[in-house]
Amino acid sequence: MFRALPMLRVKLWCLASEAQDMALLLARHGVFNPAAEADAPLPAEPGSEYREVFEEAEARMAKIVGYCGLGELPPIPADAIAPNLRELRGINGRLREIWQDCSASQENELRVADERKRLATLEATYAHLKGLDVDLSRLLGAGSLLDAHIGQVAIVNVGRLRDSLALAGQVMTVFDRDGEHVYAVVAGPRGETELGGLLAQAGWRELPLPPELQTHPEAAGRYLAAERQRLDALAGGYCETRAQKHAQYADWLKQARILLMLARPLAEAACDGLRGQGHLHLFSGWAPRRDLPRLQAGLEARFQGRYLLQWREPEAGERVPSLLHHPAWLRPFAALVTGYGVPRYGEFDPTLLFAVTYVLLFGAMFGDVGHGAVLLLLFFGLRRRLGGLARVGIWASLASIGFGVLYGSVFGYEEWLHPVWLSPMHDPGHLLRLAVYAGVAFMAVTLLIHAGNRFAEGRPGVALFAPAGLAGLVFYLAMVAGLDAWFRGAGFPLVAGLTAVGALALAAAHVWIETRAPFGERLLVTFIESFEAAIGLFANTLSFLRVAAFSLNHVALALAVFTLASGMQGVGYGLTLVLGNVVIIVLEGAIVAIQALRLMYYEGFSRFFIADGVEFKPLRLEGRPGV
Amino acid sequence: MSSYLNTRVSLFRQRLWQDADFDALIGAPAEEVPAALDERQLALLAIGFGGDAPLSLEGRIIAELLRETRILVRPLRGEARRFIVYWTERFEISNLKTLIRAKMAGERSAAVADRLIDMGPFSRLDLDTLSHVEDVGELLRRLESSPYGGIVRNARRAFEQGHDPFILDATLDRSYFEALVRTARPLRDTAGEGFGELMRCLIDRVNLVWLLRYRFNYGLPPAQVYYLLVASPFGMAPDTLRRLVTRADLAGVLDELPPRLGRALAGCSDIVELFARLERELARRAHAMLRGGGHALTRAFAYLILREYDLRGVRAVLRGRQLGLPLTSIRQALGRPPAMQGVGGG
């Protein structure tokens, strides 16, 4: 539970003709994470074409499904086999044909949508053109003395285009605006300048003004109405086409979809970890030690000796994927931990520490039997909708109830229940001191874990001398002991001071040695990093004051609600109490949840958790497995 | 934060190359080149020296620039941060162009993916999805809903009119620089005169080179050339640009230039030489900004300009050596004056 599962580096040799079945078997077992070998014994990358065809087919499938839908897939039969390259090419080719067929319809739909939009604009524009009182047949007709264009251009291009047109002796007049575009007339002496290039550059879109629009306004109106009717009919027709395409292709697409699911494992393995030569293929990757016997049994049952499985322990410096295993109750917390990062292979997995500390911090900051019970009911009721988050909430609510019993608080009332431990408001100084002590303990644990992680990585120098290692821990504890004595009036003990200075000097020397940079940069980095590490430890410790502050805040908010309510009578009194408590539960509950998370991430994880591990991502079979 | 950034830039400044460093790299025996690059914190370039494709070298130069930009951008916030981040996005615009050209040529998705620059944390595009689209139309439609929607929308409309790749490229470039200018505009008052001067040099260089290329190499009419230039409060005024586009030849354009540019470019006989002189002028100004102790953002921007200038110089040397060119030709291609007269990098 405190480390990723032990992994083995695995090499699996098989016949090239059985590579796709091998990948499928590995995916069905879900315990093989493909990873390239640094010195691959076989030179070729045989799966690259398979992968390329697969990706093309996948992209086409997604577009087709996006256009005409697919419906629910049947389960994948247990004895289904993956397509080979020739079959995959066939699927891809068929998908290309289907997409060409569908894309033509989709393009038509888009064109009609465009046309409808432009028609709507045309109707509005024509109303403006009428307002201009311009006879368009004269302006645009063959006998006109002007070379005129009517069109649409982006508003941001207008100034620039107008200046450019002036250089060519042309005038531009804007007569309408539609969102980000304007409608304009560009006119100049006929036949003097070729404007095509300039107008194209500006994204000028010529406004199609068919002859019907250039005649009498009434005739133009009739034309527009007819055009609308035509486009509506076309759009209706395309909807039917879409449904027809679905009916025509859905069955084949479902089969193809399943074949692509079966092909995915080899395509994924081809990306990383598949090599070959001649009739031999090699899958390289990682598998958990505990699952190897099961995998071997599966291989034997399917391939009956036509394979060779080799494995070895991970070597120093290898990037090993981390497979974390947690009991069910801890998994929702694991999601919050991996949200920060994945533990490196061999690094301490902080999920359990996170779960316990987070729940305790929440309870300490939001300790109230009544509020905790309401949250408990709320999370229990929403457990299906919230999933894992509800389980985190239930644990936090139970902690809130527990601390409520310790504080003697029920919906802010401190008279109903005698505190088992202490009421926060009655001795805030004591509570603040305890929060700092808790912070010191937490920081010391994080530094120890950091040192342990570095030892596990085989970097004893960092574990011993880095500012976040044992040298940092000695500095920190010496300073804490010294400051504690000083606050108690006994002065700062010389031993504690000398220990702290010595440990800090060691840490600084370590940073100096580890930094590879020119002298000036090295000096700056050493100074800033040592200084930051020293200050950071105490800043992080003081952050824990918020634990006490929020528990006091909780009581203070309840008092404020009572004070407001006591100014009212009858229904007003009850309503204020209920609303006040709702505000406390929702607002303060959310703030406390975030603060507890913040304490864990920034004061805890940032100190010891490198979290740059690689998640164990085995080949898996998508979809529902069949029987 | 500005004092931290200033310190960072001052430390980075030591990485800039002197002309003598280039001379040393040009003259170094082949087996010493990787060590020489490694010594200059260019381990990324040293790894593949000897037998790699030119494109991967370009990719690694950009990776190095992005790595340093990531460090410099850390203490920046707000508009200053937006500006420096946007400055890196021209590499992503070049990815856009690669994708568009590849789709026009009907290339395989896998072949395109190899040529795209890895933008790392600066990446804003889902290149994997984009490289799998069917055609240019679909690509442009998808890009319209990307962070580059504003830039691409103009280009798409222009492209739909003419299906001309030149129009697409030119519109993308112009839209990028106009967006850069918009990002820079709010910084004019806060980042000081030096920042405006750098932007002026940059925009003048872009506008002047484009003007000459479009007008005299491609033979576009003055009105279209003017439209394609970057409209900017930095650099030459619109009236000047309008006068310049109507000139009939390079000499005519040089005669009409404002005095400061006219002096720097006097006697230029072709666009290549003019570009090299403008590059040197920009580098000279950037060096002055670095030395002058101005605003931290300006110094960071100046450093990035100079670092890119240097790394492109290193690329020219490495490529020249790979091609077995004579040392004098490499030195000439570098476009830097001999070491004794050069502008100091440190």
The per-residue pLDDT for A625 is: 54
Residue A92 and residue A116 in one domain:
yes
**Residue % of chain A over a pLDDT of 70:** 96
Q: Which residues of A touch B7 (CB under 8 A)?
A: 524
Contacts of A4 (CB under 8 A, 6+ apart): A320, A322, A323, A324, A343, A345, A346, A347, A349, A613, A616
The shortest C-alpha distance from B237 to chain A (Å) reads 13
- Buried-exposed string B24-59: b where 16+ CB fall within 10 A, e elsewhere: ebbebeeeebbebbeebbbebbbeebeeeeeeebbb
**Domain boundary residue, one of A169, A195, A215:** A215
Looking at beta carbons, which residues of chain A come within 8 Å of B153?
154, 203
Q: What is the mean pLDDT of residues B153-158?
A: 75
Number of domains in chain A: 2
At residue B1 the predicted structure's pLDDT band, cuts being 50, 70 and 90, is low
What are chain B's domains? 194-292 (1.20.1690)
Query: Is it the case that residue A440 has pLDDT exceeding 70?
Result: yes
Instruction: Verify whether the Cβ–Cβ distance B11 to A518 is below 8 Å.
Output: yes
Distance from CA of A56 to the nearest CA of B (A): 7
Kindly determine whether residue B220 and residue A193, on different chains, have CB atoms separated by under 8 Å. no
Report ipTM for this prediction: 0.71
pLDDT of residue A481: 93
Query: Are A96 and A60 within 8 A, CB to CB?
Result: yes
Give the per-residue SS3 of A527-572. Answer: HHHHHHHHHHHHHHHHHCHHHHHHHHHHHHHHHHHHHHHHCCCHHH
CA–CA gap between residue B245 and residue A144 (Å, rounded): 31
DSSP code, position A618 = -
**CATH code of the domain covering residue A145:** 3.30.70.2750
Residue A214 predicted with pLDDT over 80: no
pLDDT the model gives residue A523: 87
Q: Which residue of A has its CA nearest to B134?
A: A60
pLDDT level of residue A424 (50, 70, 90 thresholds): confident
A217 CB neighbour count, 10 Å cutoff: 12
Interface of B with A in 112-171 (CB under 8 A): 129, 132-134, 153-154, 156-158, 161-162, 164, 167, 170-171
Sequence letter at residue B338: P
Are A203 and B161 within 8 A, CB to CB? yes
Report the residue of chain A nearest B130, measured CA to CA.
Answer: A59
CB contact, 8 Å: A197 with chain B?
yes
Question: Does residue B248 have a pLDDT over 80?
Answer: yes
Of residues B92, B83, B91, B283, the one with CA closest to residue B180: B83
- In chain A, which residues have their Cβ closer than 8 Å to the Cβ of B161? 199-200, 203-205
Shortest CA distance from A516: residue in chain B: B41
Residue A92 forms part of a structural domain:
yes
- Give the model's pLDDT for residue B325: 83
Whether residues A58 and A76 share a domain: the answer is yes
Can you give the pLDDT at residue B135? 79
The answer on A204 and A187 residing in a single domain is yes
Could you say which of A203, A235, A270 is where a domain stops?
A: A270
Contact list in A for residue B162 (CB cut-off 8 A) is 196-197, 200
Q: Kindly state the average pLDDT of the residues B92-97.
A: 88
What pLDDT sits at residue B340?
A: 40
| Most confident of the ranges A359-368, A450-459, A539-548, B15-24 | A359-368
Measured between CA atoms, how close is A160 to chain B, in angstroms? Answer: 6
Mean pLDDT of chain B: 84
Q: Judge residue B110's burial from the number of C-beta atoms within 10 Å of its C-beta, 0-12 exposed, 13-18 middle, 19 or more buried.
A: middle
Sheet holding A181-189, edge to edge: A171-178, A181-189, A146-154, A205-206
Percent of chain A with pLDDT over 90: 32
* pLDDT tens per residue, range A16-55: 888 888 999 999 999 999 998 777 677 777 888 888 899 9
pLDDT of residue B343: 32
Q: Same domain for A232 and A105?
A: yes
Question: Alpha-carbon distance A187 to A140, whole Å?
Answer: 10
Could you tell me if A207 and A263 lie in one domain? Answer: no
* Amino acid present at B334: L
Q: Is A171 on the interface with B (CB under 8 A)?
A: no
Q: Assess whether pLDDT exceeds 80 at residue A216.
A: no
Measured CA distances, A597 to A344, A358, B280, B332 (Å): 21, 7, 53, 60
Chain A: closest CA distance from residue B229 (Å): 10
- At B137, is the pLDDT very low, low, confident or very high (cuts 50, 70, 90)? confident
Phi, psi at A341, each rounded to 5°: 165, 165
Q: Which residues of B touch A168 (CB under 8 A)?
A: 221-223
A232 in the same domain as A116: yes
Query: pLDDT tens digits, residue range A271-326?
Result: 777 888 888 999 999 999 999 999 999 999 999 989 999 999 998 778 899 999 88
**Dist. CA A524–CA B322, nearest whole Å:** 39
Chain A nearest-CA distance from B223, in A, is 5
Q: Inter-chain contact A201–B167, Cβ cutoff 8 Å? A: yes
Q: What is the CATH number of the domain that holds A61?
A: 1.20.1460
> Same domain, yes or no, for A149 and A189?
yes
> Where does the pLDDT of residue B318 fall: very low under 50, low under 70, confident under 90, or very high at 90 and above?
confident
Partner-chain contact B157 A197, CB within 8 Å: no
B205 has a pLDDT exceeding 90: yes
Contacts of B231 in chain A (CB under 8 A): 159-160
A204 touches chain B (CB under 8 A): yes
Decide if A279 is inside a domain. Answer: no
Question: Hey, is B8 helix, strand or coil?
Answer: helix
Place of tokens 């309408």: A176
Q: Which pairing describes strands A614-615 and A321-322: parallel, antiparallel, or unpaired?
A: parallel
Please compute the mean of the pLDDT values over residues A351-371 and round it to a whole number. Answer: 92
pLDDT number for residue A173: 87
- How remote is the C-alpha of A291 from its chain's centroid? 30
Q: How far apart are CA B30 and CA B182, in angstroms?
A: 45
B216 in Cβ contact with B232 (< 8 Å): no
Question: Which residues are within 8 A (CB) of A561 and not within 5 positions of it... i.e. 6 or more apart?
Answer: A412, A576, A577, A580, A581, A583, A584
pLDDT of residue B50: 54
How much is the pLDDT for A478? 94
Cα(B258)–Cα(B1) distance, integer angstroms: 38
A161 touching chain B per CB within 8 A? yes
Is B154 within 8 Å of A167 when comparing Cβ atoms?
no
Which of A176-190, A548-562, B111-125, B194-208 ranks highest by mean pLDDT?
A: B194-208
Query: A372, A405 in Cβ contact below 8 A?
Result: no
Pairing between β-strand A280-288 and β-strand A7-15 as defined by DSSP bridges: antiparallel
The residues facing A8 across adjacent strands are A287
Q: Which residues of chain A does B220 touch, with a Cβ-Cβ cutoff of 8 Å?
A: 197
Q: How far is the CA of A54 from the CAs of A27, A50, A215, A221, in angstroms?
A: 16, 6, 56, 53
A568, part of any domain? no
A64 within a domain of the structure (yes/no) = yes
User: CB B221 to CB A197 under 8 A?
Assistant: yes
Which 3 state secondary structure label does DSSP give A427?
Answer: coil
Does A339 reach chain B within 8 Å, measured CB to CB?
Answer: no
Query: If pLDDT is split at 50, 70 and 90, which confidence band does A567 have?
Result: confident
CB contact under 8 A, A524 and B7: yes
Say if pTM beats, i.e. exceeds, 0.90.
no
Q: For the residues A603-618, what does the mean pLDDT come to? A: 84
Claim to verify: residue A58 and residue A105 sit in the same structural domain: yes
Fill in the DSSP letter of residue A9: E
- Residue B320 makes CB contacts below 8 A (sequence gap 6+) with B26, B329, B330, B333
Residue A528 confidence (pLDDT) above 50: yes
Q: Does a structural domain hold residue A13?
A: no
A166 Cβ contact list (under 8 Å, min separation 6)? none
Same-domain status, A116 and A227: yes
Please give the residue range of the domain that contains residue A260: 47-121+222-270
Distance of alpha carbon B99 from alpha carbon B103, whole angstroms = 6
- 3-class SS of residue A363: helix
Instruction: Using a CB–CB cutoff of 8 Å, tell me whether B182 touches chain A.
Output: no
**Residue position matching structure tokens 């432009």:** A118
Residue at A177 is within a domain: yes
Separation in Å, CA of B16 to nearest CA in chain A: 13
- Give the dihedral sign, CA B82/B88/B92/B97: positive
Rounded Cα gap, residues A608 and A611, in angstroms: 9
- Report the chain B residue with the minimal C-alpha distance to residue A55: B132
The residue among A153, A164, A193, A529 with the most chain B CBs within 10 A of its CB, best to mutate, is: A164
> A165 — contact with chain B (CB < 8 Å)?
yes
Residue A72 shares a structural domain with residue A110: yes
Considering A169, A184, A215, which residue would you say is the last residue of a domain?
A215
Rounded CA separation B14/B212 (Å):
36
Determine, yes or no, domain membership for A141: yes
Residue A601 has pLDDT above 60, yes or no: yes
Q: Does B39 touch chain A (CB under 8 A)?
A: no
Q: How confident is the model at residue B51 (pLDDT cuts 50, 70, 90)?
A: low
Q: What is the pLDDT of residue A627?
A: 40
- Left (φ > 0), alpha (ψ -120 to 50) or beta: where does B261 sit? alpha
Q: What angle do CA A73, A77, A78 make, to 5 degrees?
A: 140
Residue A321 included in any domain: no
Find chain A residues with C-beta within 8 A of B236's C-beta: none
Tell whether A140 and A114 lie within a shared domain. no
- The answer to whether residue A193 neighbours chain B at the CB level (below 8 Å) is yes
Among the partner-chain residues A63, A168, A204, the one whose CB lies closest to the CB of B161 is A204
Hey, which residues does A288 pair with through a beta bridge?
A7
Rounded to an integer, the average pLDDT of A534-539 is 87
User: Does residue A143 or residue B66 have the better pLDDT?
Assistant: B66
Same domain, A201 and A227: no
Contact between residue A603 and residue A435 where contact means Cβ atoms under 8 Å apart: no
pLDDT over 90 at B64, yes or no: no
**Chain B residues with beta carbon closer than 8 angstroms to that of A205:** 157, 161
CB contact under 8 A, B223 and A165: yes
Q: Which of B16, B169, B171, B226 to mutate to test the interface with A (most CBs of A within 10 A)?
A: B226
